[in-house]
Structure 1
Amino acid sequence: MTRGLRAASVPAVELKVSTRSHGGQTVMAVVGEIDLYTAPRLQAEFARLLQESATTRVVIDMSGVEFCDSTGMNVLLSALKRLRERGGALEVAGPRPAVRKILQVTGLDSVFTVHEAVPEELLTAEPKA
């Protein structure tokens, strides 16, 4: 019985991450909340991406992100640093008002290139088979 009660009292926090790469450019779509509990999932996805591919430009589509705390921002900054070390860039696309406000308050909107939506050229690119 305790098991059922415990499961009911802990909210299920989920973060969905999907990537699509083409020609050294990757769009990473993130859906959910990025916080202390889910940030390791995002960090692991960045680590996998940077280890397995020659990606130099990552556009993170945050239109599905409802909340992002300082832990999430630190993951983005870490990924930006690693991409810059290889001559690349990390860009933010489609942040919702709450995420945009965090970017503005922290000054990170001047660190990242922020787009209203994923750039058109990345939407029309055909992914590698």
Structure 2
Amino acid sequence: MPLVELNVSTSSRGDHAVVTATGELDLYTAPRLQTALAAVLRDQAGRVVVDLSGVEFCDSTGMNVLLAAMKRLKEQGGAFELAAPRPAVRRILQVTGLDGVFTITDALPAPGTG
């Protein structure tokens, strides 16, 4: 079975940080996202958008990483959003009821909006 990687990058866009993940988010790759989110939360207490448009799969470990980051950011008075989840990831959010917990947008916010 080929090893599926998760690539994570971060960028700052005006009033918010964007964390972009591509690949599969699971037990083995979730620590990579967790590390990136922890760094962003240290540096930016405002608004964080996680771009999920390139994530093909997400398991409970991945969801827990996202939940923990959202909780921490909200405790700091910030806002946490998930942007453009693919149908498979959106389905997981719906089945678990997390679509009512997370702020989910269909697209990334334009630079400078917020």
Aligned to 1:84: 74
Name the amino acid aligned to 2:36: E
Aligned to 2:22: 31
Superposition misfits of 4+ residues, deviation over 2 angstroms: none
Identity of paired residues, percent? 63
The Cα RMSD (Å) is 1.3
The structure in which a higher percent of residues are helix is: 1
Aligned to 1:101: 91
TM-score by length of 1: 0.81
Unaligned runs of 5+ in 2: none
Name the amino acid aligned to 1:56: G
Q: State whether structure 2 residue 34 is matched by structure 1 residue 43.
A: yes
Q: State whether structure 2 residue 50 is matched by structure 1 residue 70.
A: no
SS of the residue 1:46 aligns to: helix
User: CA offsets, 1:57-99, max 9 Å, x none?
Assistant: 1111100000000000000000001100100121011110000
Unaligned runs of 5+ in 1: 1-9
Q: Contact between 1:92 and 1:112, CA under 8 Å: does it hold in 2?
A: yes
TM-score by length of 2: 0.91
User: CA offsets, 1:2-60, max 9 Å, x none?
Assistant: xxxxxxxx532211111111444111111000000000111011112222x13321111
User: CA offsets, 1:88-124, max 9 Å, x none?
Assistant: 121011110000000001111111111111022xxx3
Q: State whether structure 2 residue 7 is matched by structure 1 residue 16.
A: yes
Aligned to 1:3: none
How far, CA to CA, are the matches of 2:95 and 2:89 in structure 1? 10
How far, CA to CA, are the matches of 1:80 and 1:46 in structure 2? 10
Q: Contact between 2:19 and 2:37, CA under 8 Å: does it hold in 1?
A: no
* Greater Rg over alpha carbons, structure: 1
Taking a change above 3 Å as real, the CA distance of residues 86 and 50 of structure 1, as seen in their structure-2 partners, is same
